[in-house]
Amino acid sequence: MVGWSGRRKNLTILAFVVPTLLAIAVFSVYPFIFNTFISLTNRSKFRPNPDCSVTIWRIVEPTCWLSTEQRGLAEPFTFSDPLLKNYGDLLGGLFTADALLALLRIGLIVAPLIVALVLNNRWGKRLSRPVSSGIVWLGGLVVTILLALPWLLDLPGAYQTLLESGDFIMVNVRTILYVVICMPLFFIFGLTMALILNNDYIKGRTFFRVILIVPWAASTVAIMMSLIWQFFFRGNGTINQFLAVLGIEGPTYLTKDVWAFFVVVLVNLWYTYPFFMVIILGGLQSIPPDLYEAAEVDGASWWQQLMNITLPLLRPAVLPAIVLSTLTTYKVDAVVWGITQGGPVKGADIPGFTEFVMVHAYKQIFQTRAYGRMGAFAVILFVVLFIATLYSLRITRITEGAYE
């Protein structure tokens, strides 16, 4: 910019950004600092109040700002002993020999798939490849499945061990399982619909494109729409009524672990595939048609064109969407809350099969009221999400403008 510099420039910039920084300091940065301090205490429903005579709580605790009087009859909370006790409670189970071994086994089980990916990338750069990419993938998959069997590396056993190493780890393992199941489905549904809608010989494409994003619109009121979905899967809900007409008695989906899990997957698929469809469609339209013409001349089949032209060229458009969607799927809340509330219920304070990370946090804060532990939870989650965000920035380079 021309014509202005020095003190005046700084003042102008300050005037532009100060209101924003203020709002973010109060409602984003301060809560984080607060959580960090609370995570070091034994605050819970039995010790909900601060001791306002301690300087640090005079500063950090809003309830101490106006008066230092002791509130309530319960004893005030204090720093835990040892200081990082809450972190130990959450993560401790992970650092036992059994749990670490289970993690290692899971790592070894997925290793063949990673090897297949690397091999395909390497061979993809050559003019002629020893075996086709499909066979490499198939090989990797077969070895993975073999390794996962109980008498080799025992994936179910490893999973069970992790489930038993504490609620926090159990909830995280299930959430990651949920993400791992959801993401390929989102992508495959989005890709299929985008490929169909991108075909010039299909009539009424505009109409279908408009209709098919209705679920995305409904996802902005996810909590309400999920309540309607929940009704479909009740014991005497819509699905079972259709089944009854065919003479089949359906299960009560929402009280069975695996059923409830897949209902939540299905509903989230409903909300999310239009997002992928729109992104992939945009990517498809930016692929130059001559590439396909050239491939056609060379005699490439539909599948070869998909694998060697479409998917690689979609990468830049789709990868940011996948990263963003992975994070939002990990943080899924309203969808689950509307359908299962984290159930099926196992008993007080035992996380149900669909109690994913955010639902667990919500329940722990507002039902169990384990404030201290959830402070630690928030700090750990922030670190994880911060790293994930930095990583996604590296991939998507949406900050290109900021780095110049």
Partner 1 sequence: MNQPPKPWTKILMYVVLVLMTIFALYPVWFAVLAAGRPGQRLYTFDLMGMIVPTQWTWDNLRALLTETAFLTWIKNSLFVATATALAALFIGTSAAFAFSRFKFYGRQGGLILFLAIQAFPGILSLVPIAQILSAVGLYANHWGLIMAYLAGTLVFVIWNLKGYFDTIPIDLEEAAMIDGCDPIQSFVRVALPLARPALAVTLLFGFMAGWGEFFLANILIPAPDAKKTVMVGMYQMANEVNIPWGRFASGAVLVLIPIILIFLWLQRYLESGLTVGGVKG
Instruction: Return the closest-CA partner of residue 44 out of 12, 71, 20, 78.
Output: 78
Q: Which is nearer to partner 1, 3 or 247 (CB)?
A: 3
By CB under 8 A, the residues from 17 to 76 that bind partner 1 are 17, 19-21, 23-24, 26-28, 30-32, 34-35, 38, 61-63, 65-66
Under rule CB under 8 A, residue 96 binds partner 1:
no
Residues 70, 75, 77, CA angle at the centre, nearest 5°? Answer: 95
Interaction of residue 5 with partner 1, rule CB under 8 A? no
- Using the rule CB under 8 A, is 88 a contact of partner 1? no
Q: How far apart are CA 158 and CA 45, in angstroms?
A: 35
- Is 186 a binding residue for partner 1 by CB under 8 A? The answer is no
Closer CB to partner 1, 26 or 319, in the complex: 26
Can you say whether the dihedral through the CA atoms of 296, 302, 308, 309 is positive or negative? positive
Q: How far is the CB of 346 from partner 1 (least distance, A)?
A: 20
Find the binding residues for partner 1 in span 385-404 (CB under 8 A).
385-386, 388-390, 393, 398-399, 401-403
Q: Among 260, 263, 336, 374, which residue sits at the site for partner 1 (rule: CB under 8 A)?
A: 374
Supply the minimum distance, in Å, between the C-beta of residue 187 and partner 1. Answer: 14
Nearest approach, Cβ of residue 265 and partner 1 (Å): 14
Structure tokens at 365: 């804060």
Q: Cβ of residue 204: shortest distance to partner 1, in angstroms?
A: 8
**Given the complex with partner 1, which of 64 and 153 has the nearer CB atom?**
64
How many Cβ atoms sit within 10 Å of the Cβ of residue 141? 13
Using alpha carbons, select from 26, 37, 27, 29 the residue that is nearest to residue 375.
Answer: 37
* 305 is a contact residue toward partner 1 (CB under 8 A): yes
Looking at residues 195 to 254 of the shown chain, list those that interact with partner 1 (rule: CB under 8 A).
Answer: 195-196, 198-202, 208-225, 227-229, 231-232, 236-238, 241-242, 245
| d(C-alpha 359, C-alpha 295), whole Å | 49
244 Cβ neighbours under 8 A, 6+ residues apart:
250
Per DSSP, 74 falls in state: S
Neighbours of 206 (CB within 10 A): 9
Other Cβ atoms closer than 10 A to 56: 13
